[in-house]
A and B are shown apart, each in its own frame.
Chain A
Amino acid sequence: MTLTSPPSKVLDPKNDTRKLELKALRLRKRQLKTMDNDDPSEISGKRGRSSWIVLIGLVLFALYSVGPAWWLIVSATKSKEDLYTTDAMWFANFKLFDNLASLFTYQDGIFGTWLWNSLLYAFASSIGHTVVSMAAGYGLAMYAFRGKGTTMGFIIGSFLIPGALLTIPSYLLFVQIGMYDTIWAMIIPAFFSPFAVYLSKVYAEGAVPSELLEAARIDGAGEYRIFFQISSRLMTTAGATIFLLHFVGSWNGFFGPLVYLRGADKWPVMLGLYSWLQRGTDSTVDLTGLVITGSLVATIPMVILMIAMQRYWRSGVAMGSLK
């Protein structure tokens, strides 16, 4: 006892300091908490009324944003008759699977062809688009060569070219070189985008240290090997962003396919839906139900993709800060 008690007494002051430390910590925590509540990003002070106004405003905006999407989901589950007779914003008899069946069997399942075309165009063009843009952006960022300034000048200058200027001449060009009304018209021209090159150049400047290239060179790696084995991996974020933005853009494309494609078997899904929308109004066939279900089917992959890859397109927003 006597042996053990003195040390505890000796330790006592230390315990005291510990207690004090704990107290101070608790105090700081409390302080931090109150500071948190005072955080400028929150409504403080007159919490009650103004924060309610803010919340109500946000809820109204959210309803406005989500409402039409909700309508699409609800309507896709309705039979043709219910579409016209029941409350537009709430479910009636659940007929989604019947609608899907008629969607994919109408006109020998041409909707499936359109979906496949959209997928093919989006994938093929985005892969080429990403590879070409990453290589070009990397080259412009990491090397000094003749014509670099001119190339950059053309890239920046081409941001100002309105799309309307190129449509008719591109059509003429595609007819001339035999690309009109082929799948290539949807894929190859999309490889070359000044905006994506710019994005990739900006990213490469920040992500690829030139010391690393020197080190790799000393180790005897060639320039192409350095790009494919080292630099392209450092640029994955930029690559994913460029791929995603173009994939979505290609999936949503309308004017290009409308001008450059003739045969219905080559149309992407957006153009196909448009053709149904047009037919639904000037003939006796009622395609409204098909257009609605088809719109939902064409939208869901995009929404899932965008939510899953939020990080990337948000970083694209930050990187380019223009779109």
Chain B
Amino acid sequence: MSSRLEVRKSLDGREQEPSRQARAGASASPRFSWRTKQRLKGASFTWPFVIGFAVFTLLPMVIGLGQSLFASKTSGLGFGAATVSFAGFENFARGFIDPVFWSSMLRVSIYAVVIVPVIQLISLALALLIDAVKRRVANRFRLLLLIPYMIPGIVAIMIWLYLYSPVVGPLKPFFGLFGIHADFFSSGMIWVSIGNLAVWGSIGFNMLILFGALQAVPREIFDAARVDGASEFRIAMSIKVPYVRGSLVLTGLLSIIGTLQIFNEPTLFRSISPESITKDFTPSMVIYNQAFQVGNLNYAAALSIILAAVVGVASVIIYRLTNKVES
């Protein structure tokens, strides 16, 4: 407060000079003008963002909600102008019982429930391994382990598509050595193939976050445990793991939200193996298909809202559950 007064004084002192502040001060109420002006200028830093956010985030949300309440029908064979009419919750009612949409949702939910903990466990194991070697060695391995994170997602999918491919890929002959006949694109294997791709792409980055959390653990605790006769494995399980539980929950939550909306992987896999991946394989693909192949944007908007609601409910449930487990 006192510093502000000093600023005011100093500005008052300058009033003889025809400076900008002084003129502004003279025109409006002299007591608040400079402060109001400063606040206004401070707020103006956020205006570009606020305007853009309103136009490109809030407005689309309103448009989406509006669109989902209408239906456009073309008469006959699809010639002539479409008639748009208010449909109320018709699109939602249809979406709630759409077997194609919900079977895709079930498929993706099962996948998410399996793959996210698997990724977390592997990343944790990796972080514990990295934490157990000398710094110099750790740094070298860390760079190698982060290479998948640096490769663009689409390129990563393409690489694995070719690796899985029975024509150019090395994996089929490799498994053949052990007498295993592996068909990575069969409908039974497709989720395993996509899951492996997800593991490969994300363990490096998750390891980095968990390793950062491990570094924050005070080292004296380990010494104390060692004096008490704890083995390294025991120390890892009973001290290190509980310390990083918070990071585990956070990254797990975020990857479940991302996994429920999975689109790129199945879409690219579909271009290689259309017989095991249908055009309605995941909820996002159903929405894309409805909007741009079928052309029913209203229904697609309604399905987007349902998907968003499911993702929201899922994250609340997971958050609650993990809180309960911790307490």
Are A214 and B40 within 8 A (Cβ)?
no
Most interface-central of B53, B67, B283, B308 (chain A CB within 10 A): B53
Chain A hits for B156, CB < 8 A: 68
Are A88 and B49 within 8 A (Cβ)?
no
Are B56 and A192 within 8 A (Cβ)?
yes
**Contact partner, B153, options A188, A192, A252, Cβ 8 Å:** A252
**Scoring B residues 174 to 211 as 1 if CB is less than 8 Å from chain A, else 0, what string do you get?**
00000000000000000000000000100111001100
Are B147 and A292 within 8 A (Cβ)?
no
Query: Which of chain B's residues has its CB closest to A201's CB?
Result: B46
Are B147 and A299 within 8 A (Cβ)?
no
Q: Size class of B's contact patch?
A: 35 or more
**Contact partner, A251, options B135, B152, B163, Cβ 8 Å:** B152
**Contact partner, B250, options A146, A214, A322, Cβ 8 Å:** A322
B242: Cβ under 8 A from any A Cβ: no
Are B56 and A298 within 8 A (Cβ)?
no
Are B222 and A89 within 8 A (Cβ)?
no
- Minimal beta-carbon separation of B208 from chain A (angstroms): 6
A156: Cβ under 8 A from any B Cβ: no
Number of A-B contacts (CB under 8 A): 281
Chain B hits for A270, CB < 8 A: 152, 154-155
**Contact partner, A252, options B154, B209, B254, Cβ 8 Å:** B154
A25: Cβ under 8 A from any B Cβ: no
A254: Cβ under 8 A from any B Cβ: yes
Are A173 and B60 within 8 A (Cβ)?
yes
A274: Cβ under 8 A from any B Cβ: yes
Are A224 and B41 within 8 A (Cβ)?
yes
Chain A hits for B155, CB < 8 A: 72, 270, 273, 295, 298-299
Are B48 and A132 within 8 A (Cβ)?
yes
Q: Which of B129-151 contact A (CB under 8 A)?
A: 129-135, 137, 141, 143-151
**Contact partner, A135, options B48, B125, B133, Cβ 8 Å:** B48
Are B209 and A321 within 8 A (Cβ)?
yes
Are B45 and A139 within 8 A (Cβ)?
yes
Query: In the complex, what distance in Å separates the CA atom of A167 from the CA atom of B311?
Result: 15
B276: Cβ under 8 A from any A Cβ: no
**Contact partner, B151, options A139, A143, A303, Cβ 8 Å:** A303
B89: Cβ under 8 A from any A Cβ: no
Are B144 and A278 within 8 A (Cβ)?
no
Q: Which of A2-59 contact B (CB under 8 A)?
A: 39-43, 45-46, 50-51, 54-55, 57-58
B10: Cβ under 8 A from any A Cβ: yes
Chain B hits for A61, CB < 8 A: 126, 129, 141, 145, 203
Are B312 and A160 within 8 A (Cβ)?
yes
Chain B hits for A132, CB < 8 A: 48-49, 52
Are B287 and A162 within 8 A (Cβ)?
no
B79: Cβ under 8 A from any A Cβ: no
B272: Cβ under 8 A from any A Cβ: yes
Query: In the complex, what distance in Å separates the CA atom of A321 from the CA atom of B304?
Result: 28
Query: In the complex, what distance in Å separates the CA atom of A112 from the CA atom of B44?
Result: 41
Chain A hits for B160, CB < 8 A: 68
A140: Cβ under 8 A from any B Cβ: yes
Are B45 and A143 within 8 A (Cβ)?
yes
A223: Cβ under 8 A from any B Cβ: yes
**Contact partner, B304, options A167, A192, A288, A318, Cβ 8 Å:** A167
Query: In the complex, what distance in Å separates the CA atom of A140 from the CA atom of B39?
Result: 11
Q: Which of B91-141 contact A (CB under 8 A)?
A: 125-126, 129-135, 137, 141
Query: In the complex, what distance in Å separates the CA atom of A189 from the CA atom of B169?
Result: 39
Chain B hits for A46, CB < 8 A: 232
B63: Cβ under 8 A from any A Cβ: yes
Are B291 and A291 within 8 A (Cβ)?
no
- Minimal beta-carbon separation of A118 from chain B (angstroms): 10
Chain B hits for A307, CB < 8 A: 143, 150
A133: Cβ under 8 A from any B Cβ: yes
Chain A hits for B204, CB < 8 A: 65
Q: Which of A43-85 contact B (CB under 8 A)?
A: 43, 45-46, 50-51, 54-55, 57-58, 61-62, 64-66, 68-69, 71-72, 75, 83-84
**Scoring B residues 1 to 14 as 1 if CB is less than 8 Å from chain A, else 0, what string do you get?**
00110110010001
**Which B residues are within 8 Å of any A CB, using their own CB?**
3-4, 6-7, 10, 14, 19-20, 38-46, 48-50, 52-53, 56-61, 63-64, 67, 125-126, 129-135, 137, 141, 143-156, 158-163, 167-170, 200, 203-205, 208-209, 212, 219, 222-223, 226, 232-233, 247, 250, 254, 257, 260-261, 263-264, 268, 271-272, 283-284, 287-288, 291-292, 297, 300-301, 304-305, 307-308, 311-312, 315
16 further A-B contacts with Cβ under 8 Å, apart from A41-B133, A88-B169, A288-B162, are: A39-B219, A66-B144, A68-B163, A71-B162, A143-B42, A164-B308, A166-B60, A166-B64, A169-B63, A169-B304, A170-B60, A220-B14, A254-B264, A274-B268, A277-B158, A295-B155
Instruction: Provide 14 A-B residue pairs closer than 8 Å at the C-beta atoms, listed in order of the A residue.
Output: A45-B232, A69-B159, A88-B169, A143-B38, A143-B39, A148-B46, A163-B261, A173-B59, A192-B57, A218-B7, A270-B155, A292-B162, A306-B146, A323-B205
